[in-house]
Amino acid sequence: MNGQSSSKTWLRVKRLWSIVSGSATRPSSSDTTAAEDWDASDAHARSILISSVDRVQYQYIISLKTAKEQWDALKRVHDPPGKHRLATLLRRFFRFENGNNSVNNAAASLTSIQWRIKSLSPEDCPSDFTKAVILMDSLALEEGYETSKIIRSLDDDLSFESCVVRLLEDEEEARLKGEMKVGGGGRRRRGRRGC
In the chain, domain spans = 4-78, 83-176
How far is 165 from 190, CA to CA, in rounded Å? 21
67-120 pLDDT, tens digit per residue, is 999 998 888 766 555 787 888 889 989 998 877 678 888 899 899 999 989 988
Q: Rounded to the nearest 5 degrees, what angle is found at the Cα of 111, between the Cα atoms of 108 and 115?
A: 140
How far is 130 from 160, CA to CA, in rounded Å? 9
How far is 145 from 116, CA to CA, in rounded Å? 30
DSSP structure string for 144-161: T--HHHHHHHHTT---HH
How far is 49 from 44, CA to CA, in rounded Å? 9
Handedness of CA 140, 144, 148, 151 (dihedral sign): negative
pLDDT tens for the chain, residues 1 to 195: 445 667 888 888 899 999 999 999 999 888 899 999 999 999 999 999 998 888 878 888 999 999 999 998 888 766 555 787 888 889 989 998 877 678 888 899 899 999 989 988 899 999 988 898 888 778 764 445 555 566 666 656 667 887 788 778 877 877 787 755 434 444 443 443 333
CA 5 to chain CA centroid, Å, is: 28
